[in-house]
Amino acid sequence: MNDAMPLMDFIQQLPKTETHVHIEGALPLELLQRVRPEFHRPPASWMHDFKYRDFAHFEQELLDMACSWYRTPESYHEAAKLIFAGYVAQNVKYVETSFASGMIEFGGLDGREVLAAIHEAAPAGLEVRVFLGIHHNGAGGKMRPILEEALGWSGLAGIDLHGPEDMTLEPWSAEYWAEARRRGKYTKAHAGEFMGADFVLRVLDELRPHRIEHGVRSVENPAVVSELRRRGVALDVCPTSNHKLMPGVRLPEHPIRQLFDAGVTVTVSTDDPICFGSTVADEYAALAKWQGFTRAELAQVARNGFAISLLPEAQKQGWMAEIERLVGGKA
């Protein structure tokens, strides 16, 4: 193990992934400051001990900031260029990001143009996959035919269920998730952030997603933890987001340690960094500082990110070999 290297240098050199980030919530601060001069300093939510009152408080702040900038496909392109450059600087090699279907429904944007704008911003050396994030009630009115059409969009990697978990899982969602799988799309769903382990199991059974976003409250029921292992469903965990948003959760007691030790495949990501003020490197550092993750364990989290990625197998193995060289002190 390469223990002589300072921890932050080790994290920097570690090839990493970001598999749970909302592009609207990743708005670069410098772009927000361009249209909202009052943000000459970062939002108060970037402070370590900040806690949102509830999801509605968080959602209102996120929408207030994001909608100040994201108004055209060109604005997505400009933001994505800066976001992706930040990943390259952190030695992140693979990114899965989603854009909100609400920007189509309420913002009047063409989803295909937004999708293309994000892809065109991806620099050489960074693999990017783009998902469509859909709220629990996101198939109403004009949106159902658009969502059906979206499953045929070139460059759309898959879909993700977003929004407050206490909203009803409407009948259309199971049908749509099944159709997405039939059409070769990768499926995700947010669960186990605000609702408990029973909701995670319900989502697993009804939507059958390939992966769960967050999922940390699965620890409340050992049977659900076992089911995640049995099905091979990974959790894309966002520790800093949970620390600042989930009731009763702080980094020292975060459930990711229990999930990792129980053999559940976990990754770490930033979720909405404009709201939480973290980077991918910060998330790894938090695991070491607050959860006692060793360098070998941090390397395993990084491996997990590549293992569950949508990269070709040869690329996955190449980055895992790079991790092995670093862990073995040969980097």
**Mean pLDDT value of segment 199-216:** 97
Q: In what order do the strands lie in the sheet with 266-268?
A: 16-22, 92-100, 127-135, 156-162, 186-191, 211-214, 234-237, 266-268
High-pLDDT (> 70) share of the chain, %: 98
Helices (H), the chain: 7-13, 29-35, 55-69, 73-89, 102-105, 111-120, 143-150, 171-182, 197-206, 222-231, 239-245, 256-261, 273-276, 280-291, 295-307, 313-327
The pLDDT tens digits of the residues spanning 58-82 come to 999 999 999 999 999 999 999 999 9
1 has pLDDT over 70:
no
When mean pLDDT is compared across 162-171, 237-246, 262-271, 305-314, the lowest value belongs to: 162-171
Question: What span, in angstroms and rounded, lies between the C-alpha atoms of 56 and 51?
Answer: 13
Tokens of 288: 């070491």
CA angle 129, 271, 305 (to 5 degrees): 55
The helix (run of H) or strand (run of E) holding residue 156 is strand 156-162
What is the per-residue pLDDT for 331? Answer: 47
Q: Are 201 and 155 in contact (CB under 8 A)?
A: no
* Other CB atoms within 10 Å distance of the CB of residue 36: 13
Query: pLDDT-based confidence at 2, cuts 50/70/90?
Result: low
For 83-105, the pLDDT digits (tens) are: 999 999 999 999 999 999 999 99
Active-site annotation holds for 170: no
**Residue 112 clears pLDDT 50, i.e. is over it:** yes
Cα(120)–Cα(224) distance, integer angstroms: 40
**Dihedral, 51, 57, 59, 61 alpha carbons, nearest 10:** -80
Instruction: Indicate the average pLDDT of the chain.
Output: 96
Contact 218, 210 (CB under 8 A): no
* Domain range summary for the chain, segments of one domain joined by +: 7-327
Tokens 């913002």 label which residue?
Answer: 107
pLDDT value of residue 22: 98
Find, among 118, 97, 292, 104, the residue nearest to 213 by Cα: 97
pLDDT of residue 330 exceeding 70 = no
The tens digit of pLDDT for each residue in 243-267 reads 999 999 999 999 999 999 999 999 9
Please report how many Cα atoms fall inside a 13 Å half-sphere around the Cα of residue 158, on the Cβ side.
Answer: 23
Contacts for 172 with CB less than 8 Å, ≥ 6 apart: 139, 144
CATH number belonging to domain 7-327: 3.20.20.140
Would you state the pLDDT for residue 218?
98
Please compute, for residue 197, the number of CA atoms within 13 A of its CA located in the half-sphere on the CB side. 13
Q: What is the DSSP string of 175-237?
A: HHHHHHHHTT-EEEEEESSSS-HHHHHHHHHHT--SEEEE-GGGGG-HHHHHHHHHHT-EEEE
Q: Is the pLDDT of residue 328 over 50?
A: yes
Q: So what's the pLDDT on residue 173? A: 95
| 211 alpha carbon, distance to own chain's centre | 11
Helices 111-120 & 73-89 angle (0-180, nearest 10): 30
State the catalytic residue, choosing from 78, 96, 165, 193: 193
Residue 168: its pLDDT value, please? Answer: 82
Let me know if 176 is exposed, middle or buried by CB neighbors in 10 A (0-12, 13-18, 19+): buried
Q: What is the mean pLDDT of residues 216-234?
A: 98
